[in-house]
Amino acid sequence: MKTLFAHDHRFFQQGSTMLSKNAFDAAVWDRYLEHTDELVVVARVFDLPTDADISKYGISSAPHVSFKYLPASHHWTNMLPYNQAQQKMNQEVSQVDAVIARLPSRIGTMAVKAAKKLGKPYAIEVVGDPVESYLHHGSKTLKLLAKRTGNRMKENISSCSHVLYVTQRDLQEKYPTTGMQRSASNVEIDTISEHIASAREARIHTQQNKIVKIGIIATLNTNYKGIDTAIEAMQLLQNSHPQTHLYILGPGNPDKWLQLAVNHHVAEAVTFCGILPAGEAVLNWLDTMDIYIQPSRTEGVPRALIEAMARGCAAVGSTAGGIPELLSPEYIHEIGNAHALADILSDLMQHPEKQIQQSKQNIAMAASYTKPVLQKRRAELFASFFDTVKNKERTLS
């Protein structure tokens, strides 16, 4: 059996090896190859930049997995009824037995359209809300397209036979389906060390009179992650908590955010850490943070927040997407509300016992995102989906 996986993710090619900066290392494909013989990944593929730091990329290549580039997938012409990208997608879908589309994504949407046209079975993974994303993107064009894109995604999901959501409630309520559904985040925690809780508690006890390190993992290229909210909160904290320092880990040019920090008189209290390879390097960085924040404007279920929780960090997040499913209400603030974020942080810093209590709660919550738990949920949905594919093949033969 041959299956096509469609998403907008950026892969980078170095010779015959496919690389990814995050989210799609080779192990990810196992969840699909458990049910299908071959996997064709249709995505955005670029040549690896000559000056790229290879240590910051993971290997995506794997046996029985091939990668296809969709030309002009993000050009305005792909909105036309007949276009090069859709024609190429139709061709790719015609050569497989089933389709798995990760939405929201332009490539995923084209894959669903092709599957419907060609009568191919398709399943959908729902990882975010395009309306929320487009409205906060900054592009006037995308803001105009937000409602149209959301309606199309809602239509595709409502009629889909098998849907996997990364949230427990949020995306299900926004994009319901009449088909079979399961909830399983695309974030997986391998294991949680039994020593994490005690190590974190010891760090909290020795925190007094030291710099309080507040961490956020975020791309610097968009407004999605609420970096501006974090910087504004830092300014509000300076009088009462001058020992507070914000560390921002993530790709992109920091100039815009550095200027914002200068404007808010907190440039010396903000450090841009660049990027680190996914996995152990990021976890080690999280271990040096005292509090993790996720002041996002749009989210599915944030990988970085779950990883921080698994390391025992006290954490604060916005109301975006699935964040309120992860944290207690007292650690949630409205999107863009820097005053509320600063107040919650101040309270945590004044009460170490609350940090210890929340640390334990966060570790317990993160345990529900370990591989065995999530693999079982996914396997149930994909086993059912691929059974329908096999049944269709038997009927046709």
Q: Give residue 155's pLDDT band: very low, low, confident or very high (50, 70, 90).
A: very high
The single-letter DSSP state of residue 83 is -
Q: At residue 301, does pLDDT exceed 70?
A: yes
Give the model's confidence band at 209: pLDDT under 50 very low, under 70 low, under 90 confident, else very high: low
Comparing CA positions, the residue from 340, 338, 295 lying closest to residue 320 is 295
- Mean pLDDT, the chain, whole residue set: 91
CA angle 251, 129, 85 (to 5 degrees): 75
pLDDT score recorded for residue 391: 87
Question: What integer pLDDT is reported at residue 76 of this predicted model?
Answer: 67
3-class secondary structure, 45: strand
The mean per-residue pLDDT over the stretch 180-198 comes to 85
Read off the amino acid at residue 23.
A
For position 232, what pLDDT does the model report? 98
| Predicted pLDDT of residue 189 | 80
Mind listing the pLDDT tens digit for each residue in 60-107? 999 999 999 987 676 666 666 678 889 999 999 999 999 999 999 999
| 107-124: pLDDT as tens digits | 999 999 999 999 999 999
pLDDT of residue 78: 64
CA distance 375 to 385: 15
Domains in the chain: boundaries: 2-188+370-396, 196-368
Distances (CA, A) of 41 to 44, 65, 165, 339, 348: 10, 7, 20, 44, 44
Mean pLDDT along residues 223-244: 94
Task: Categorize the per-residue pLDDT at 341 as very low, low, confident or very high, splitting at 50, 70 and 90.
Answer: very high
| CATH placement of domain 2-188+370-396 | 3.40.50.2000
Strand partners, 217: 249
Query: Exposed, middle or buried, 271 (CB in 10 Å: 0-12/13-18/19+)?
Result: middle
- Count, residues in the chain: 397
Note whether 2-188+370-396 and 196-368 share their fold: yes
Q: What is the pLDDT of residue 277?
A: 80
- When comparing pLDDT for 377 and 141, which is higher? 377
pLDDT the model gives residue 264: 97
Mean pLDDT of 206-214: 84
Selected residue with higher pLDDT from 52 and 244:
244
pLDDT of residue 137: 60
- Which residues pair with residue 124 across a beta bridge? 101, 163
CA 88 to chain centre: 27
**Angstrom distance (rounded) from CA 183 to CA 179:** 13
- CATH entry 3.60.20.30 includes domain 196-368: no
Report the pLDDT averaged over residues 247-254. Answer: 95
Q: Which of 41-45, 191-195, 284-288, 356-360 has the lowest mean pLDDT?
A: 191-195
Strand ranges across the sheet with 314-318: 270-272, 244-249, 212-217, 291-294, 314-318, 332-333
Residue 225: CB atoms within 10 A of its CB come to: 28
**CB–CB of 341/233 below 8 Å?**
yes
Distances (CA, A) of 362 to 166, 316, 326, 385: 18, 11, 8, 33
* Position with higher pLDDT, 330 vs 392: 330
